[in-house]
Amino acid sequence: MPPDVSPAKIRTVIVDDEPLARSNLSSLLRLDPEIEIVRECGSGVEALAEIRRAKPDLVFLDVQMPECDGFDVLELLGKDLPAAVVFVTAYDQYALRAFEAGALDYLLKPFDNARFNRTLDRAKQRIARTDLPRKLEHVAIKSTGQVWFIKIPEIDWIEAADYYVCVHVGPRSHLLRRSMSELERELDPEVFCRIHRSTIVNLDRVRGLKLSRKGEYEVLLEGGARLRLSRRYRRPLQSRMEVRDLNRS
């Protein structure tokens, strides 16, 4: 008989600056045999280093932490985001921003076991889908009783729009109910590049950069669009464009 092969456990990191909050989450997670708690972190800086090192599947992330909050952690991780991130906080005013940042769910303290288990089930489903090999070739846009299939190379740029993303194709724009981070993971990194926490561009559409009167750079696209370039994304964008120019020469 072949030896039994146990399924891989879901590697999980808990991030909260309150020891009691970390303990409560840990107690709930240890009830599930599919979960392996990799680390409990008491700060955003510690979490950033641990997530980069351990590459967990699932992170429970507090919003308000000194020096480096939950949103800072996600922004600094960039494309190294785990498959599923759940924000855990006592404040409901951050919910919309959490979903824009790519969070799977938003647990509002205090929560009961049933609410926690629903979140954990959603996380497992997301992680299972992420493990499947896939390449995004088109997106389906539903609008007024119709479905439009847009080929990925036709997209000029994408921006966050509340619970949706807005996909720009020539003079048209379409709303798609996906998070920026989830969509970014499925796009070809050789073609699409994030230039702001709420903006992704098709590098084939970039004509150049221009310094505005405010001292900030703008990305100029074919068709005339001018998009704000965040300072932390400027160097990666320039490097990507230089590599593409070398490959073409």
- Residue 223: CB atoms within 10 Å: 12
Under DSSP, is residue 56 helix (H, G, I), strand (E, B) or coil?
A: coil
Residue in the block written with tokens 């590459």: 55
**88: β partners:** 62, 107
Tell me the backbone φ, ψ of residue 207, rounded to 5 degrees.
-100, -30
For strands 58-62 and 10-15, give the pairing: parallel
Distance CA(16)–CA(143), nearest Å, equals 40
Q: Is the peptide bond before 33 cis (omega within 30 degrees of 0)?
A: no
pLDDT tens readout for residues 3-54: 444 568 999 999 999 999 999 999 999 999 999 999 999 999 999 999 999 9
User: How many Å separate Cα 89 from the centre of its chain?
Assistant: 18
pTM comes to: 0.56
Tell me the backbone φ, ψ of residue 178, rounded to 5 degrees.
-145, 160
pLDDT tens readout for residues 94-151: 777 777 777 888 898 889 999 999 999 989 988 887 654 455 678 888 777 777 788 8
Q: Which two tokens stand for residue 207?
A: 């004509």
Average pLDDT over the chain, rounded to whole? 85
**62: β partners:** 88
